[in-house]
Amino acid sequence: MLDIVVLALIEVPWLAVPAYLEAIQAPFSEVAATSLPLMAVVLVCAFSWSFLIRGRVAPKTEPQSASGEGRIAFFAFMGYFWSLVDDAPVYFDSVSTWPEVTSGLQHTLTEVILHLLTAAFMYLAIREAIGGRGIASFRKALQVSVLTAAAFWAAYFQNTPLEFVQAVARNAWYPLDFVEHVASVGLLYFAIRECGSSASANGVKLSSG
């Protein structure tokens, strides 16, 4: 839970800067020029927390666990990083045409790449949570798979090709973006917890066997 709070404070508030520039109708070139260095700072802060700082506050008796949890936190952070910068206010899906926001083939290709990055980092987070020990049962594996898939879908819910979703995205973009990411984080958190409980169950079976 501490990881969620700290990384959310790293990942989200900086978006207020480009959002403000967009709200006052600053040229997008200014938004892009501001977003790029802020993105680099955010990534450095997330890496520092996950691999340098959190280890100092983790239980000293479980260094290996602390290291693994740091990787889980960082992978999850990276998955959501790409989904957050994908559209407004950063419009990283148009990075190939910055400082303009465009559509077309290059926009679609970048969208696909960003979606794949989110999916890949979510997969890495789940794989790290399993820790190479496997999942205890098919039912558990199915639960983890469904929760992770739902987390991915929720992170990009605004792209759902349904008219009512698109209407909400047009009229209330930021509230929708906030709600869908909160829901997605919750789903991925439960998926990771299921991995942990499954790994614990496997450990009990191995020790008793």
Q: Do you know the residue count of the chain?
A: 209
Based on the structure, what is the number of domains in the chain? 1
pLDDT value of residue 204? 42
CA distance 151 to 126: 12
Q: Identify the segments of the chain with pLDDT beneath 50.
A: 61, 63, 203-209
Per the CB < 8 A criterion, the answer to whether 72 and 177 are in contact is: no
pTM for the whole structure: 0.89
Domain that holds residue 154: 2-208
CA distance 148 to 145: 5
State residue 161 phi and psi, 5-degree precision. Answer: -80, 60
